[in-house]
Amino acid sequence: MARVDGRRAGELRAVTIQRGFTRSTPGSVLIKAGETHIFCTATVEEGMPAWRERSGLGWVTAEYEMLPGSTGDRRARNRGGKIDGRTQEIQRLIGRSLRAIVDMEKLGARTIWLDCDVLQADGGTRTASVTGAYVALVDAVRHLRRAKLLKADPIVDSVAAVSVGLVGGKTLLDMCYVEDRDAEVDFNVVQTGKGRFVEVQGTAEAGTFDTAEMSKLVGLAGKGIRALCKIQQAALSRRCRA
């Protein structure tokens, strides 16, 4: 089956990560995965949520938003603290994914906010958000270390995410919107650089899937995540323009 964009079944979309996209925050990234473009920032706030203050441990949390012009029809903004279920689910996923690779004791009594704003959506926005937010987080931590506000690096591993699915009976990596829309089975996989799973979200949209199909999907996702980790590290090895 030929994919809509000409890729092979096990091929990622073209991924670019631009650090220092804006100058106002210590971590600022524009990640592009094909036609999905997401602006990820990491902002440091001294102090923690009230419920966590006594712990003395740091906190990493995320917010996610699809901007009004990110899709064909205008998407209404989330206003007045009202967040739709999909948005809430995604920002919790992003937060969990990044907390999994942070030593909160080393981070200390501060909060890092990760904001992921979708500028243009063509599938895989939650997975690209995780991948981009990790790079923004690293830059924010580097900023804290340069300012001598951290004694040790609290980031213990890398993390990235990708979608996989069964479309027309074929196993596909990193689905665009049309593929995701037509998928019989849809998985989102989050994994660390060391190969540890943070989350596996798997759903049969039409029919069912068996253990062999699930293993194949997860294995293909792992291949994609290893490639994404290399892209992240390459981006972090370059001099940041901001």
Q: Provide the b/e sequence for 172-196 (b: ≥16 CB within 10 Å).
A: bbbbbbebbeebbbbbbbbbbbeee
- Using DSSP's 3-state secondary structure scheme, residue 186 falls into strand
pLDDT for residue 4? 87
Phi first, then psi: give them for residue 209, nearest 5 degrees: -140, 155
pLDDT for residue 96? 97
Domain assignment present for 227: yes
Domain assignment present for 160: yes
Based on the structure, what is the number of domains in the chain? 1
pLDDT for residue 74? 77
Encoding tokens for residue 177?
């919107």
Q: Which residues pair with 114 in a beta bridge?
A: 42, 62
Distance CA 229, CA 233 (A): 6
Domain assignment present for 103: yes
- Using DSSP's 3-state secondary structure scheme, residue 114 falls into strand
Distance CA 12, CA 169 (A): 19
- The residue-averaged pLDDT of 154-162 equals 98
Cβ proximity of 82 and 133 under 8 Å? no
Cβ proximity of 163 and 225 under 8 Å? no
Domain assignment present for 242: no
pLDDT > 90? residue 76: no
CA 171, 94, 98, 37 dihedral sign is: positive
Per the structure, the complete domain to which residue 161 belongs is given by: 15-72+84-237
Distance CA 127, CA 70 (A): 16
Distance CA 202, CA 73 (A): 27
Domain assignment present for 232: yes
pLDDT > 70? residue 241: no
Q: In which band, very low, low, confident or very high, does the pLDDT at 73 lie, cut at 50, 70 and 90?
A: confident
- Using DSSP's 3-state secondary structure scheme, residue 160 falls into strand
Cβ proximity of 124 and 221 under 8 Å? no
Distance CA 26, CA 220 (A): 34
Domain assignment present for 67: yes
CA distances from 8 to 131, 172, 183, 220 (A): 22, 8, 16, 12
Does pTM surpass 0.85? yes
Q: In angstroms, how far is CA 80 from the centroid of its own chain?
A: 25
Cβ proximity of 29 and 132 under 8 Å? yes
Distance CA 189, CA 201 (A): 6
Domain assignment present for 104: yes
pLDDT > 90? residue 193: yes
- The residue behind tokens 């792992």 is 222
pLDDT > 60? residue 150: yes
**What is the crossing angle of helices 211-237 and 125-146, to 10°?**
40
pLDDT > 70? residue 17: yes
Residues 92-131: pLDDT tens digits? 999 999 999 999 999 999 999 999 999 999 999 999 999 9
Domain assignment present for 189: yes
Task: Give the CATH number, domain containing residue 33.
Answer: 3.30.230.70
pLDDT > 70? residue 242: no
